[in-house]
Structure 1
Amino acid sequence: MTSLTLFTPAGALPKAEPLKRAAKRLTKLGFEVAIDADALARHQRFAGDDATRLEALHRIADAAPSIALATRGGYGMTRLLDQIAWARIAKSVEQGTRWVGYSDLTALQNGFIARHKGLAMWSGPLACDDFGRSEADGGVDEVTRDCFLEAMSGALEAVGFREPTGGFDGLEARGRLWGGNLTVLCSLLGTPHWPKVKGGILFLEDVNEHPYRVERQLLQLQQAGVIDTQAAVLLGDFSGAAKTANDRGYGLKDAVAALRSRTKTPVLTGLPFGHVRTKVCLPVGGTVELYVQGREAILGWQSDPRLAHGAHEHGDDCAPDCGHAH
């Protein structure tokens, strides 16, 4: 069986039930599930104090399970970045551990790829948010589940999505995939944990950030010279912020238009990723290839993103169960 460890590296879990529910469901899916000893620890808003969460991170790295799946995001990884023994994390990845999560895990993932070329982590579901959701709240999303299973088995080599705005027919781009949560990523700018990726494919998402805040952070990246040096930018979901009377029609489309007007880098929307029920898995740090035909986009990579050099072409071979999420 494939070993899978659940751990809580950032915000505290408010209740134990979603964790137990996630462990049960993941076990039924065929994983040998272990719950880290401090997964339910609490200190203020965090899952234990910094030392506790750091020890858990290193403990899991040393154990090198097949999968290290974060239970939730929140806030807390940034506190640990200066203290992480990155070589221990890298050794676990080299031994086959797939670190999975998103949201606050953006800090861990990008801090890692800032130091290790040719190695990757996975942006994907969180245990409690995605596998611990009650049936009354919708249960487990099938696309999210199937993408996770295929990614963790090594079978997932591409995901597909529809770019709603058009205008990118024939686009081909290749580079290192990086990014994640926009707010967390921007917090790394100017620090030793910032990945200095040029010619990459940058993907971004966020939640509960008003469109003007999204625009401000996108322009920060553009004005810092980040956006202009990428091969492409992929925008996922940016939901959860209510419009205000001051907007007068201004919204996320206007924020995206503002970015597009200031850069020659292709900025695509529609990536099925973010703080939403349906999300794909993405190899953060792996080399990927982007192809667009009409409004259909395919993002492909080699089956083992630890070998992040020389991704091959995928054409139409994206997984049918999760490659065409919209």
Structure 2
Amino acid sequence: MRIRPSRLQKGDTIGIIAPSSPPNLESLQRSLAFLEQLGLNVKMGKHVENVHGYLAGTDDERLEDLQEMLADPNIKGIICAGGGYGAGRYADRIDFQLMAEQPKILWGYSDITFLHTTIGQFANVVTFHGPMLASDVGKDTFHDLSARMFNQLFEPIELHYTEAISPLTTLSGGNAQGELVGGNLSLLVSALGSKYEIDTRGKLLLIEDVDEEPYKVDSMLNQLRLAGKLQDAAGIVVGDFARAEPKKRKTTLTLGEVLEHYLGDLGKPVVSGFKIGHCEPHFAVPLGVEARLDGDAKTLTILPGVQ
């Protein structure tokens, strides 16, 4: 059982970091009003505005911002400005003991999947897969439901996902219970073969991605299959695969056909269509807590992420 971080209180201070690519600074600035509405104070990472090619500063700078927020006892949670690429470049240098000794909220998705997996497995702390500040909160498209998902940080809320939120498709029926783990499919695959690869044994595996053609999703799911990650999982939660249309090929399998090929006959519950990922609304979920997937009723129930 992973350690759940303490819930937020109004007046708490949140650290903001850019652990991957440079965020849109105008959008980031607009997002701060939302945090203010939640009753939170903000401490900006020293290097959030830095740009180093496609990275938000050098590896040392981005790591420094993360470590400083983890070490600061006045910081009760860390919310990522955006994703992109780069968190995996310093994953082997994170001081996981800092998080283990002072468990605190870490919130983000996409490239932040690398941090979710490593912190979950090496610090044994629950983290949160949810919309980010510059990428989502600061945009006009930010959805009411996405905003309400932040409430789970202020009180222990059991989450229930049904077709009242979005249409769901059962690829394989049955029931399964286990820790919810995973995130962005590309990032999960990029860690295979390293000490940071995801452990899916007896767990519910969440996958989502963006801008990946069906043949690329096919390749990545095949890699997870060959690594035993699909078979090891107790069940699979298929999140949003935004803009997964073919671009290079006139003849193609559909995304649905690819998902059915790899996930349809695993003999465990698999449900697709969850609005979890690069989408609006974005249903934010804690990772590392017990969850139950009912493939027949098409429901996902997730225990609270904070204490």
TM-score by length of 1: 0.84
Partners of 2:13 and 2:76 within 8 A in 1: yes
The aligned counterpart of 2:168 is 164
The aligned counterpart of 1:108 is 115
- Structure 2 residue 240 is the aligned partner of structure 1 residue 231: no
- Structure 2 residue 137 is the aligned partner of structure 1 residue 131: yes
Measure how far apart 1:130 and its partner are. Answer: 1.6
**1:1-326 alignment, distance < 5 Å:** 1-13=11-23, 15-64=24-73, 65-93=75-103, 97-117=104-124, 119-133=125-139, 135=140, 138=141, 140-148=142-150, 150-162=151-163, 164-166=168-170, 171-244=174-247, 246-248=249-251, 250-261=253-264, 263-292=266-295, 294=297, 296-302=298-304, 304=306
Partners of 2:171 and 2:271 within 8 A in 1: no
Number of equivalences: 293
Deviations 1:224-269 (A, max 9, x none): 1111111100111112243247453621110111113552232210
> Greater CA deviation, 231-240 or 156-165?
156-165
Q: Runs of 4+ in structure 1 displaced over 4 angstroms?
A: none
Measure how far apart 1:287 and its partner are. Answer: 2.1
The aligned counterpart of 1:321 is none
Gaps of 5+ in 1: 306-326
Gaps of 5+ in 2: 1-10
Deviations 1:159-198 (A, max 9, x none): 31336334766x3211111110000110111111123231
Measure how far apart 1:270 and its partner are. Answer: 1.5
Distance across 2 between alignment mates of 1:253 and 1:241: 10
The AA in structure 1 aligned to 2:146 is: T
Distance across 2 between alignment mates of 1:231 and 1:267: 9
The AA in structure 2 aligned to 1:77 is: A
Distance across 1 between alignment mates of 2:153 and 2:205: 22
SS at match of 2:106: strand
Q: For the structure 1 residues 291 and 164, does the alpha-carbon distance in structure 2 shift closer, same or farther, using more than 3 Å as the test?
A: closer
SS at match of 1:114: helix
The AA in structure 2 aligned to 1:21 is: R
> Greater CA deviation, 189-198 or 72-81?
189-198
Measure how far apart 1:281 and its partner are. Answer: 1.6
TM-score by length of 2: 0.89
Q: Percent identity?
A: 26
Q: For the structure 1 residues 23 and 211, does the alpha-carbon distance in structure 2 shift closer, same or farther, using more than 3 Å as the test?
A: same
Deviations 1:132-168 (A, max 9, x none): 11x3xx3x210000012x2111242113133633476
